[in-house]
């Protein structure tokens, strides 16, 4: 019997501790970060990607020691995204902390963290352009509409180390928001699963009995006008988690064009709020070198102006 020769170009990658528990599609995106997501989903769907020799699905969770078959792709990688020089300079000026393993920047609202889905480029593309010698990658994500602290690893080992902390909920993330309504208590905890739904082609997260588990703690800082200036602490990291849980409380985040009622959006626009009032202001984690980091960045001026214009 003749042994079948190994397939040309195929890689078998063993899942290490940093990726155990992670979704297959996210794992592949990290392995092939220049390849469009649509191409990744296609090779999974057609059975070209296998886990321990078996067909798999994009959301399948990986286990320590799993053998992932990654085929040679027959699609051209995405062309390098040219980020405007002014954007690159602005992001470089927004770096809050940097060492040999990572950097944290204060992402402005309206800027995506990565390219895709109709967006030509994002924050990570800007830093890859300004620092081509690095293998910069995202540790976590922020909604395009959200401002604040965004963490990037400067090399794969650092990125995996930091991603594992986020996945295992070993980090502390704190956001500032203006809720459209008065919190009845100083502290409220929402323990409601979140499920994805589509409306008019847009993705929404809905709190209810189904979906992925999600926990958010809201702490009142002070009443402002008809709203509540609050700190939100997401204990899990689901898509649109704070925004969807605020809606569940009956108090959408002010300025939320996706989740707020149109008349409430107009109400806040008349008070000068032209964006989502949600800002990632504090982040605590352990750096790859063992240093305990406590990073923070202040509320941006466009939100401070709105807040100052409201009565306490």
Which range has the worst mean pLDDT, 25-29, 37-41, 43-47, 73-77?
73-77
In three-state secondary structure terms, 27 is helix
State whether 180 and 303 are in the same domain: yes
237 and 278 assigned to the same domain: yes
Residues 177, 163 share a domain: no
In this predicted structure, what is the pLDDT of residue 21? 81
CB of 106 closer than 8 Å to CB of 297 = yes
- The whole-number average pLDDT for the span 270-283 is 97
List, by residue number, the catalytic residues: 143
Give the integer Cα–Cα distance in Å for 215 and 221: 19
What's the CATH code of the domain at 38? 3.10.290.10
pLDDT band with cut points at 50, 70 and 90 for residue 2: very low
pTM: 0.80
Query: pLDDT of 232-252, one tens digit each?
Result: 999 998 999 999 999 999 999
What value, to the nearest 5°, has the Cα angle with vertex 25 and ends 24 and 31? 90
> Do residues 189 and 262 both lie within one domain?
yes
Element at 174 (helix H, strand E): strand 172-179
Q: Percentage of the chain with pLDDT > 90?
A: 72
The answer on 289 and 207 residing in a single domain is: yes
Cβ pair 273, 238 in contact under 8 A: no
Q: What is the pLDDT of residues 163-183, one digit of tens each?
A: 999 988 899 999 999 999 999
- Terminal-residue alpha carbon distance, the chain: 82
Same domain (yes/no): 156, 179: no
Q: What is the mean pLDDT of the chain?
A: 91
Show which of 126, 141, 167 is a domain's final residue.
167
- Are 156 and 183 part of one and the same domain? no
Is 200 found in the same domain as 298?
yes
Give me the pLDDT at residue 77, please.
47
Q: Are 216 and 243 in a shared domain?
A: yes
Indicate whether 224 belongs to any domain: yes
Residue 77 lies in a domain: no
Q: How far is CA 128 from the centre of its chain?
A: 18
Q: 3-class DSSP state for residue 185?
A: coil
Same domain as 65, residue 179 = no
| Poorest-pLDDT segment among 111-120, 171-180, 232-241, 273-282 | 111-120
pLDDT of the residue at 31: 83
Mean pLDDT across 253-270: 96
- Give mean pLDDT, residues 75-88: 74
Q: Provide the domain limits for residue 274.
A: 172-308
- Do 180 and 294 lie in a common domain? yes
Cβ–Cβ under 8 Å, residues 178 and 277 = yes
Mean pLDDT for 289-301 is 97
Tell me how many domains the chain contains: 3
pLDDT tens-digit readout, 55-64: 999 989 999 9
The first and second tokens of residue 181, run together, are 């309504």
**Per the domain annotation, does 111 fall within a domain?**
yes
Q: Are 147 and 126 in the same domain?
A: yes
Q: Is pLDDT larger for residue 147 or for residue 1?
A: 147
Beta-carbon-side half-sphere exposure of residue 150 (alpha carbons within 13 Å): 27
**Residue 52 located in a structural domain:** yes
pLDDT in the model for residue 81: 66
Span 98-124, average pLDDT: 90
């Amino acid at each position: 019997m003749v042994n079948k020769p190994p397939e040309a170009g195929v890689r078998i990658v063993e899942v290490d501790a940093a990726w155990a528990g992670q979704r297959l599609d996210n794992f592949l995106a990290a392995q092939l970060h220049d390849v469009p997501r649509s191409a990744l989903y296609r090779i999974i769907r057609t059975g070209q990607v296998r886990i321990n020799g078996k067909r798999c699905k994009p959301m399948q969770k990986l286990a320590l020691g799993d053998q992932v078959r990654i085929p040679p792709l027959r699609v051209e990688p995405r062309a390098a995204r040219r980020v405007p020089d002014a954007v690159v300079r602005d992001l470089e000026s927004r770096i809050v902390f940097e060492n040999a393993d990572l950097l944290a920047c204060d992402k402005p609202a309206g800027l995506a963290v990565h390219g895709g889905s109709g967006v030509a480029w994002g924050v990570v593309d800007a830093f890859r352009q300004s620092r081509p010698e690095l293998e910069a990658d995202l540790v976590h994500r922020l909604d395009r509409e959200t401002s604040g602290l965004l963490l990037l690893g400067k090399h794969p080992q650092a990125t995996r180390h930091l991603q594992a902390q986020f996945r295992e909920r070993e980090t502390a993330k704190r956001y500032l928001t203006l809720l459209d309504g008065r919190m009845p208590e100083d502290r409220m905890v929402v323990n409601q699963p979140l499920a994805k739904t589509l409306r008019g082609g847009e993705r929404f997260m809905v709190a209810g009995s189904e979906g992925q588990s999600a926990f958010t703690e809201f702490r009142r800082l002070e009443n402002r006008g008809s709203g509540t200036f609050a700190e939100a602490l997401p204990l899990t990291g689901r898509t649109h988690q704070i925004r969807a849980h605020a809606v569940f409380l009956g108090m959408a985040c002010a300025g939320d064009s996706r989740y707020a009622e149109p008349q409430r959006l107009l109400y806040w626009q008349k008070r000068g709020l032209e964006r989502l009032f949600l800002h990632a202001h504090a982040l605590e984690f352990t750096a790859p070198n063992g240093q305990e980091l406590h990073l923070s960045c202040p509320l941006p001026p466009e939100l401070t102006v709105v807040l100052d214009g409201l009565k306490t």
